[in-house]
Amino acid sequence: MITTKSEYKKRLNEVDLYFNTIQLLDQGQCSVECRDISGSISTYVIDQELSKILKANGFLLLYNLIEATVRNSVVAILNSIVADKLSYRNLSENMKKLWVRQETKEIKDFNQSRDKIYEMSEKILNDSLLEFKEACVNISGNIDAQAIRDLAKQFGYTESTNGRHLQIVKEKRNKLAHGEFTFSEIGKEYTVKDLITLKTEVTNYIEDVLKNVEDFITDKKYQRV
């Protein structure tokens, strides 16, 4: 969990640095001044179009923060299970279901199903140490508060409340990623102040998720009671 929290802080610092820089855009016309090696100064005015693009880019940074933190939280849980060297009988009911789902996910025909059931039975009966993969849950570019609540239910950690602002970030990010709208079309709808308010709501929610996952790992709630 130390790595997960460290990665979160690293990405949050990127977001803060970016938003602190572009917040000047709300104050009026801005320009970038560059001095080359000879001392000559070049100035580039940030017009309205570039301002919109810079604001829209904030949604990509926020979504990166959300998805990376959720993914790293999942990895932290799975790494803790591996470190504790657990077999099937030692897992919580939630984790048993996740493991079964993971192992049967790729079954395509009867023969493959028969072989997989035999393999799984051997691991369970022999108390073999189980391996969990990140793919045991679906994290694929559509992370919002509902997706995070679904993960909480699957693993068994406490669900965080609210988080409606994550839906906005996901929708805007997807519209940009899939080319449905241009950056300037997305950016024109928001001031930097709006984005900073959005960032505050998002980070408050994600930090609550981190706390719940950390409590889950510390209390080893992935183990059978």
The whole-angstrom separation of Cα 21 and Cα 25 is 9
CB count in 10 Å sphere of residue 32: 10
CB count in 10 Å sphere of residue 197: 13
Q: What is the pLDDT of residues 89-118, one digit of tens each?
A: 999 999 999 988 888 877 767 666 777 787
Q: What is the pLDDT of residues 38-48, one digit of tens each?
A: 888 888 888 88
What is the pLDDT, as a whole number, of residue 136?
75
Higher pLDDT: 27 or 5? It is 5
Where does the pLDDT of residue 157 fall: very low under 50, low under 70, confident under 90, or very high at 90 and above?
A: very high
Least confident of 43-47, 51-55, 60-64, 97-101: 43-47
Three-state DSSP state, 44: strand
Q: Which of 117, 121, 124, 119 is nearest to 87 (CA)?
A: 124
What is the pLDDT, as a whole number, of residue 117?
81
Place of tokens 């949604």: 59
Q: What is the pLDDT of residues 175-207, one digit of tens each?
A: 999 999 999 999 999 999 999 999 999 999 999
Q: Which residues contact 10 (CB under 8 A, 6 or more apart)?
A: none
What is the pLDDT, as a whole number, of residue 96?
93
Helix or strand run (H / E) with residue 87? none
